[in-house]
Amino acid sequence: MSDLQTFRQETRLWLEENCPPSMRFPVTDSDDACWGGRNWTFKSEEQKQWLESMAARGWTAPDWPAEYGGGGLNKAESKILKEEMARINARSPLDSFGIWMIGPALLKFGSEALKQQHLPPIIRGEIRWCQGYSEPGAGSDLAGLQARGEDRGDHFIANGQKVWTSYADKCDWMFCLLRTDVEAKKQMGISLVLFDMTTPGVTPKPIKLISGSSPFCETFLDNVRVEKDQVVGEINQGWTIAKYLLTHEREMIGGFGLTDAGSETLGQLAANSLGVADGRIANSILRGDILKWEIDGAAFAMTAERVTDEVKSGHGVGATSAMLKYAGTELNKRRYELMMKIDGSDAMIWDGANSNGGWTPRTWLRTKGNSIEGGTSEVQLNIIAKNILGLG
Amino acid sequence: MAMVINEEQQMLKESAQGFLAEYAPLAEVRRQRDAGSEKGYADNLWTQMVDMGWAAILVPEAYGGLAFGHVGMGQIVEQSGRTLSASPLFATAILGVTAINHCASEGQKTELLGAIAAGQITTALAVDENIHHAPTQISTTATASGQGYLLNGNKRFVVDGSTADRLIVAARTAGDAGDSEGVSLFIVDPAIAGVEVQRTEMVDCRNYATISFNNVVVPESALLGEEGSGFAALSATLDVGNAFLAAELLGIAQETFDTTLRYLKERKQFGVLIGSFQALQHRAAHWWSEIELCKSVVLKALQALDKGDTKSPLLVSIAKAKLCEVSELATNEAIQMHGGIGMTDEYDIGFFIKRARPAAMLFGGYSYHGDRFALLSGY
């Protein structure tokens, strides 16, 4: 038996033994997921147990180096782990901006001390991170950010306001962009810094969205002390890392266009809700819109697959993350517009059993942000036009 | 199967690119049109393609073919969309080979596939009878008579119908229009009595025909496969045909995009390159993104055909539908972004829109394949 076959067999056995029954269902919404952190209350004993046993093997971050507590798996092994988890519908033990975003940036750009300090608690789900990028005056034009980091020798004093800091009120640490050189050209005077949210002067305030939920905050920084040893990479060179992280974020959000495996297609939902006549959804106009979406959704999923395969085989650049982000989020918005039409007036019920506790309208409203966060669709089109098509 | 083409397929793509640019470029299409050519391509073009082995790509090795597969052939067809090269490749090496290979007897395969691979005969598939593709609606009849059959009916929009050496005719030996049972395929020499072939001049200047069968006597040996069960072979052939039409449309979408992108970087108005305008940049970026989606659906469909995947019909309908949509976007945007010059016959863009629409309509456009996709998905 090859090493990979052995690995698969062992992984399968271990998952069978260690994945609790209630963790073998897809997560229904972000409240159902495990986010970890100092303030976290586990939804169940099994959720806690699942996180702890996966973290002990480093499998919350399977491909991170073992020396920081990661799984140390190579690409093939990571893929096997993913497949074996999918086989039993095992959910992710930990949803984490630490694992998705700042961790990879630390691995690529961070000092050894920063890696030692921050990676292990991320992997164990002990520290929950938020992102301090946008500001009231710096959205699409992120490099125009104004939050200052004033040099005080061994530390900076930070002042300003961040916005769209996801879950800042529940998070433990922030990775944050500050202007540390006001004289330099806009992209050149920015640093990426890390600080504890309990540092005096940090005040997060939830923002209520049109969907009724508050996944984001505005965060005020009022004379916040940031140690210089908490700068990722070089001082004033944070823009490069910020761009790297934005690419990462685009890839993550672009995945929204993919329907979860196993979930019902729009066509099936519509057939159930509107009825079928002669094998066709009874509303022919809606059916036309739905099948068009399903064709586009299939094309998007195939493209995500093709791009992955192209990267793996070392072929060309393929479609970039900007294209996937643009296409994926626009698709997701269309998908929820169609779900609203399929559910008819029930879809407008804000609370109550008929709209699944308002899930449909709330999720629909939330998708409007998909093509704004992580760079608007218009910004993605700018990136494609300039970087790929060479249009000046 | 990883969604990338292998080295051999890449080589075929490059050799097709070189060959078509030299021997069947768009300038040749224009020359043929201006000369009023009935065929739409140069006399020796097919001989050259046969010499390159292209007639044998889909033919199994047992019958003298190369068995190089649909993804391989797709590379050639995609390139032929870039140059708009007309040739018997589609009607003979794709439709003819597939239909015969799917239902003919061993003897027929040996004879016919061998002859096609060697460039001795060309074929045309006669399916549609009306202005919209509807293969179950076949009403042409084949009535048993003496030692064979009597064919009666009308076929329209038969690709290469006025030049092919053999016709593959879908006719009803039982049942009524609307039934998939009772359809049989026949191989017919168009020179025999009662077959009347009339060329139809269409916007792409290719070779289509209306063919009427008036008490045409064919022998029993003309039947391909079993009587009354030809619909499966016909469906499979149409799937293969549609996958390659999608591949051709992908070539058209890419070529019009590349040409337009160059134009955006050359053309100046208001003292600047028009490509500096965000209104055009965003449309170009959207167009490019759509082409990325198209590359995936076409490759997926061709790979499914190579694997013999049972989901091939579904994947082919996705590919054809998506390419109908995007080839329309591409050719319309190409003309609009070129402005007035895009409307002139002197400029090449017009040739692309005039090929894109009939290629999209042939064997079913968006509405046909969208509907089929949904039905196959259970709604």
What gap in Å lies between CA B55 and CA B48, rounded to an integer? 10
Q: Which one of B1, B3, B297 makes the best mutation probe of the A interface by having the most chain A beta carbons within 10 Å?
A: B3
The chain A residue lying nearest B282, using CA atoms, is A381
Instruction: Compute how many other C-beta atoms are within 10 angstroms of the C-beta atom of residue A370.
Output: 21
Domain A3-95's class? mainly alpha
Segment A3-61, tens digit of pLDDT = 999 999 999 999 999 999 999 987 776 678 999 999 999 999 999 999 999 999 999 99
Place of tokens 């167009």: B287
Spell out which residues of chain A touch residue B292, defining contact as CB-CB under 8 Å: 303, 318-319, 323, 327
Q: How far is A2 from chain B (nearest CA, A)?
A: 21
What's the N-to-C CA distance of chain A in angstroms? 55
What gap in Å lies between CA A278 and CA A287, rounded to an integer? 13
Comparing CB atoms, the residue among B3, B278, B370 nearest residue A306 is B3
Q: How far is B86 from chain A (nearest CA, A)?
A: 28
Enzyme catalytic residues of A: 249
Using a CB–CB cutoff of 8 Å, tell me whether A284 touches chain B. no
Q: Identify which has the larger pLDDT, A251 or B345.
A: B345
Q: What are phi and psi of A163, to 5 degrees?
A: -140, 160
> Is B293's CB within 8 Å of A390's CB?
no
pLDDT bin (cut points 50, 70, 90) of residue A254 is low
Average pLDDT over residues B373-377: 97
Cα–Cα–Cα angle for B348, B353, B358, nearest 5°?
A: 130
> Is B378's CB within 8 Å of A291's CB?
no
- Return the amino acid letter for B130: N
A314, pLDDT greater than 80: no
Comparing CB atoms, the residue among B273, B296, B374 nearest residue A299 is B296
Average pLDDT over residues A170-195: 95
- Percent of chain B at pLDDT > 70 equals 100
Predicted pLDDT at A392: 82
The chain B residue lying nearest A379, using CA atoms, is B282
Predicted pLDDT at A12: 96
Segment A100-114, tens digit of pLDDT = 999 999 999 999 999
Could you tell me which of B77, B68, B67, B17 has the C-alpha nearest to residue B245? Answer: B77
> Is A299's CB within 8 Å of B293's CB?
yes
Q: Which one of A308, A317, A329, A381 makes the best mutation probe of the B interface by having the most chain B beta carbons within 10 Å?
A: A381
> Is B370's CB within 8 Å of A290's CB?
no
Comparing CB atoms, the residue among B264, B280, B293 nearest residue A303 is B293
Comparing CB atoms, the residue among B3, B373, B374 nearest residue A305 is B3
Average pLDDT over residues B226-238: 96
Segment B83-114, tens digit of pLDDT = 999 999 999 999 999 999 999 999 999 999 99
The chain A residue lying nearest B295, using CA atoms, is A303
> Is B296's CB within 8 Å of A306's CB?
yes
Instruction: Compute how many other C-beta atoms are within 10 angstroms of the C-beta atom of residue B9.
Output: 18
Q: A330-359: string of b/e by CB count within 10 Å (b at 16+)? A: bbbbbbbebbbbbbeebbebeeeeebbebe
Which residues, other chains included, contact B353 with Cβ-Cβ below 8 Å and sequence gap of 6+?
A: B331, B332, B334, B335
User: Per the CATH hierarchy, to which homologous superfamily does domain B7-122 belong?
Assistant: Acyl-CoA dehydrogenase/oxidase, N-terminal domain (1.10.540.10)
Spell out which residues of chain B touch residue A309, defining contact as CB-CB under 8 Å: 2-4
Spell out which residues of chain B touch residue A288, defining contact as CB-CB under 8 Å: 370
A253, pLDDT greater than 70: no
What gap in Å lies between CA A255 and CA A331, rounded to an integer? 10
Spell out which residues of chain A touch residue B286, defining contact as CB-CB under 8 Å: 381
Q: pTM of the prediction?
A: 0.91
Q: What is the DSSP string of A277-323?
A: ETTEES-HHHHHHHHHHHHHHHHHHHHHHHHHHHHHTT----S-HHH
* Whole-number CA gyration radius for chain B: 21
Predicted pLDDT at B330: 98
Q: How far is B276 from chain A (nearest CA, A)?
A: 5
Mutual orientation of helices A75-87 and A3-18 as an angle, nearest 10°?
A: 40
Predicted pLDDT at B42: 87
Predicted pLDDT at A247: 79
Predicted pLDDT at A313: 81
What gap in Å lies between CA A325 and CA A313, rounded to an integer? 22
Residue A188 · residue A181 · CB < 8 Å: yes
Please give the CATH number for the structural domain made up of B232-376: 1.20.140.10
Instruction: Compute how many other C-beta atoms are within 10 angstroms of the C-beta atom of residue B220.
Output: 11
What gap in Å lies between CA B276 and CA B9, rounded to an integer? 37
Domain ranges of chain B: 7-122, 124-231, 232-376
Q: What are phi and psi of B378, to 5 degrees?
A: 95, 15
Could you tell me which of A154, A166, A171, A169 has the C-alpha nearest to residue A231? Answer: A154
Segment B265-299, tens digit of pLDDT = 999 999 999 999 999 999 999 999 999 999 999 99
Segment B310-368, tens digit of pLDDT = 999 999 999 999 999 999 999 999 999 999 999 999 999 999 999 999 999 999 999 99
- What is the architecture, at CATH level 2, of domain B124-231? Beta Barrel (2.40)
CA B77 from chain center: how many Å? Answer: 9
Average pLDDT over residues B137-158: 96
- Return the amino acid letter for A99: I
Using a CB–CB cutoff of 8 Å, tell me whether A310 touches chain B. yes
What gap in Å lies between CA A173 and CA A171, rounded to an integer? 6
Q: How far is B331 from chain A (nearest CA, A)?
A: 18
Which SS3 state, helix, strand or coil, does residue B276 take? Answer: helix
Using a CB–CB cutoff of 8 Å, tell me whether B292 touches chain A. yes
Query: pLDDT averaged over chain A?
Result: 92
What gap in Å lies between CA B305 and CA A305, rounded to an integer? 18
What gap in Å lies between CA A241 and CA B308, rounded to an integer? 46
Domain ranges of chain A: 3-95, 129-236, 258-388
A316, pLDDT greater than 60: no
Predicted pLDDT at B175: 94
Cα–Cα–Cα angle for B177, B180, B182, nearest 5°?
A: 80
B373, pLDDT greater than 60: yes
Predicted pLDDT at A319: 58
Segment B107-139, tens digit of pLDDT = 999 999 999 999 999 999 999 999 999 999 999
Alpha helices in A32-127 (DSSP H): 45-56, 75-87, 97, 103-109, 112-123
- Which CATH entry fits the domain spanning A258-388: 3.20.20.70, 3.40.190.10, 3.20.20.140, 1.20.140.10? 1.20.140.10
Using a CB–CB cutoff of 8 Å, tell me whether B230 touches chain A. no
Q: What are phi and psi of B209, to 5 degrees?
A: -145, 150
Predicted pLDDT at B308: 96
Looking at A31-35, B247-251, B299-303, which range is the least confident one? A31-35
Predicted pLDDT at A258: 62
pLDDT bin (cut points 50, 70, 90) of residue A315 is low
Predicted pLDDT at A29: 67
- What is the architecture, at CATH level 2, of domain A129-236? Beta Barrel (2.40)
Segment A72-107, tens digit of pLDDT = 999 889 989 998 998 999 999 999 999 999 999 999
Predicted pLDDT at A260: 53
Predicted pLDDT at B1: 85
Q: What are phi and psi of B146, to 5 degrees?
A: 60, -125
Segment A136-164, tens digit of pLDDT = 999 989 999 999 999 999 999 999 999 99
Going by the DSSP 8-state scheme, the letter that residue B368 receives in this structure is H
Segment B15-52, tens digit of pLDDT = 999 999 999 999 999 999 999 988 888 889 999 999 99
Predicted pLDDT at B277: 97
